[in-house]
Structure 1
Amino acid sequence: MTTSIEPTTLIEPFHLAIPEEHLADLRARLARTRWPEQETVPDTSQGPQLAKVQALIEHWQHRYDWRRCEALLNGLGQFRTTIDGLDLHFLHVRSPEQGALPLLMTHGWPGSVLEFRKVVGPLTDPAAHGGDPRQAFHLVIPSLPGFGFSGKPTGTGWGVPRIARAWITLMDRLGYGRWGAQGGDWGSAVTAAIGRLAPAGCVGLHFNFVMFQPTPQEVAEATPEEQAMIASARYYADVLSGYAKEQATRPQTIGYSLADSPVGLASWIYAMSQDVSDSGGNAEAVFSLDELLDDIMLYWLPSTGASSARLYWEAAQAGRAGPPSPEKITVPAGFSMFPREIIRTSKRWAERRYSHVIHFNELDRGGHFAALEQPELFVQEVRASFSHVR
């Protein structure tokens, strides 16, 4: 399918067919793994435990089926288009309901378009999943620049604001004059940046993660619940954020390991699955091994360990120029705070930054990867938020 004959606005189908020799090379690398010794603590305080990673890699080498994942992605509907000089990959899943609201959904790191795999059906075809057809969405799910099968920037400048502008162009190119945006992790930063730009077609935003931090005054005036949020964010900064500091300062350094070692890449990503999910440190209690490996493959096959890490570097460079404008975002916004999300916000903190908070809810279960961990709750939250702007 193409929507234009102009080469600068061409949208082309994208079909995945990874050569078998690439998969054979992966298995050979896995077989030659040189393992470190076991951790010297009985928990995950030193990082992913040797036994857990070995079990993941054993499954990857002997039982994992990439062709199943490949067929899933091809079946959803993949496309590519060039915006601002970069090839961008995206899923485009249209609802059977003519009145569906187009919704742009943006993943983060170490996520991918597969982060939304469990919610695509209920969001696009609610009637087939016991829901109200009037709550249907057309979904546009892009891969961030340098992630998945999107192109890799060859120069600096592809930070969050530029991505937001590219996403607005994408929605316009698809012919959507009225649409919403949703995001978690880096997707929340992109969604907020879209809100700051306030394009005429964007009618609402939804977040399951926030990137803003409380001001010193807010910290001083924090309620007990907000104090718990501050403590959680501090724990992340002090204990869990080593990967972010590395990627924000030396993405090329870690990039060599992530590009060359599948076990290094897998453990780098697995650490986040155990640390920030609602799993009590046991990632396999929330995610299947196949789900974990499907996501890892979207970093291994296109070798995006370094290019995806550079988004942190870009954000760090932008941060040196100062925080975003303090002016409130006026686009209607909804917030869903899952309890094991490491960085959360209170309603009053959100209302100081967004002038029109149309939905705010604190859930009783779920973590950072909300759409994968609690897909039914995630769908309910998205529907509830955008019900105010349909």
Structure 2
Amino acid sequence: GPSFPHPNCALSPGLDIHFIHVKPPQLPSGRNPKPLLMVHGWPGSFYEFYKIIPLLTDPKAHGLSDEHVFEVICPSIPGYGFSEASSKKGFNSVATARIFYKLMSRLGFQKFYIQGGDWGSLICTNMAQMVPNHVKGLHLNMAFLSRSIYTLTPLLGKRFGRFLGYTERDIELIYPFKEKVFNNLMRETGYLHIQATKPDTVAIAFTEPGHPVCFPRKFSLEDLLTNIMIYWTTGTIVSSQRFYKENLGQGIMVNRHEKMKVFVPTGFSAFPSEIRHAPEKWVKVKYPKLISYSYMERGGHFAAFEEPKLLAQDIRKFVSLAELQ
């Protein structure tokens, strides 16, 4: 696979932050690259972005237009992989957003684009709330949205979907509600409840060798083992799981940032196999300046890992619109 620079940066409150920093190998005459911060989630890592980075930093070499050429920065969340874990309680997504903004400032970027899924989407959202004048645009492939939107409108039933502003594609992805939303969330988020309450208990199982693992077919064995080894060799599975308790341990919708809207240009990629579908109507409530919403033809939760080209194309589409704002 490709090889990228892996510098580390010591940032207050004294944390050593690891990141990838990839500059374009070539630029069209008279053009500057667009800085783009990309943030991973759990159980991912900076390695999620290895396949998409070349498409963003050297698009022409990969058959894409060079209208937008990016300089990509992919940090590791504190406590994940090669980034030092915080020793203080309360180090949540907001604290991480603050650290990553300091990183971008240290690198000399005053205005930049940000992109994320999973925890990365929340961290990037917090950054857009915190320093909107420095964020040129926010692109997400997952959204943390208020409970009322989820629990009220879909329960009215499929026949009311069109009256509620859902598209035919939304209806396909939401209904039957019990199976597509409720049952799917119950099946796929068991880890979330455990890690939000007793992260150190379940971590014991992950730190002991010899447990069988089932590998999904959509990822290569090499990619999965690389990602696993980033956690294993750094001993960060415990600290990474604590991030759930720091963010969710007090409950949902109890933090101020969860109720705040985001007023920077926003783009959203709706991948069909995401844990839960977020219709454009829902996303616009939290992100009123939503300027790009795309139904992706395939792919799921780990979008940059699964469908790097589709995600890269949607980021480029969004940036084209954001540059006109």
Q: 1:160 to 1:133 in 2, by over 3 A?
A: same
Structure 1 equivalent of residue 6 of structure 2:
78
Moved over 6 A (4+): none
- 1:375 paired with 2:308, answer yes
Name the CA shift for 1:362/1:320 in 2 (closer, same or farther; >3 Å).
closer
Aligned to 1:93: 22
Q: Kindly indicate whether the alpha-carbon contact (under 8 Å) linking 1:259 and 1:304 is maintained by their aligned counterparts in 2.
A: no
Counterpart contact for 2:185–2:276, Cα < 8 Å:
no
5 Å-filtered alignment, 1:297-336, equals: 297-319=229-251, 322-323=254-255, 324-336=257-269
CA–CA separation in structure 2 for the residues paired with 1:309 and 1:113: 16
Does the 8 Å CA contact 1:94/1:137 hold for their aligned counterparts?
Answer: yes
Q: Against the structure 1 CA distance between its residues 217 and 243, is the aligned structure 2 distance closer, same or farther, given a 3 Å change threshold?
A: closer
Given the alignment of the two structures, is residue 250 of structure 1 paired with residue 198 of structure 2, yes or no?
Answer: yes
Which 5+ residue runs of structure 2 have no aligned equivalent? 162-170
SS in 2 for 1:133: coil
Q: Work out the CA distance in 1 between the residues paired with 2:287 and 2:262.
A: 5
Shift of 1:109: 0.5
Larger radius of gyration between Structure 1 and Structure 2: 1
Say whether 1:125 aligns with 2:58.
yes
> Does 2:294 correspond to 1:361?
yes
The alignment yields a C-alpha RMSD, in angstroms, of 2.0
What is the aligned-residue identity percentage?
35
Report deviation, 1:220. Answer: 4.3
1:89 and 1:143 in contact (8 A); partners too: yes
Relative to the length of structure 2, the TM-score reads 0.87
Aligned to 1:190: 123
Contact preservation (8 Å) 2:173, 2:272? no
Give the aligned residue type for 1:78.
Answer: H
Higher relative contact order (CA 8 A, sep 6+): 2
Equivalent residue, structure 1, for 2:164: none
* Mapped partners of 2:279, 2:307: distance in 1: 21
**C-alpha contact 1:168 1:199 (8 A) present in aligned 2:** no
CA-CA distance at 1:221 after TM superposition: 5.0
Describe the SS at the equivalent of 1:301: helix
Distance, in Å, in 1 between the alignment partners of 2:204 and 2:305 is 29
Q: AA paired with 1:379? A: A
Could you tell me how far 1:211 is from its partner in structure 2? 1.9
- Work out the CA distance in 2 between the residues paired with 1:230 and 1:175: 47
Supply the distance in 1 between the matched residues of 2:156 and 2:294 (Cα, whole angstroms).
22
Give the direction of change, closer, same or farther, for the CA distance of 1:230–1:326 in structure 2 (3 Å limit): farther
SS at match of 1:293: helix
Q: Any idea what SS the aligned residue of 2:311 has?
A: helix
Report the TM-score when normalising by structure 1.
0.73
Given the superposition, is the C-alpha separation of residues 233 and 162 from structure 1 closer, same or farther in structure 2, using an over 3 Å criterion? farther
Give how far 1:181 is off. Answer: 0.5
Distance of 2:311 and 2:239 partners within structure 1:
29
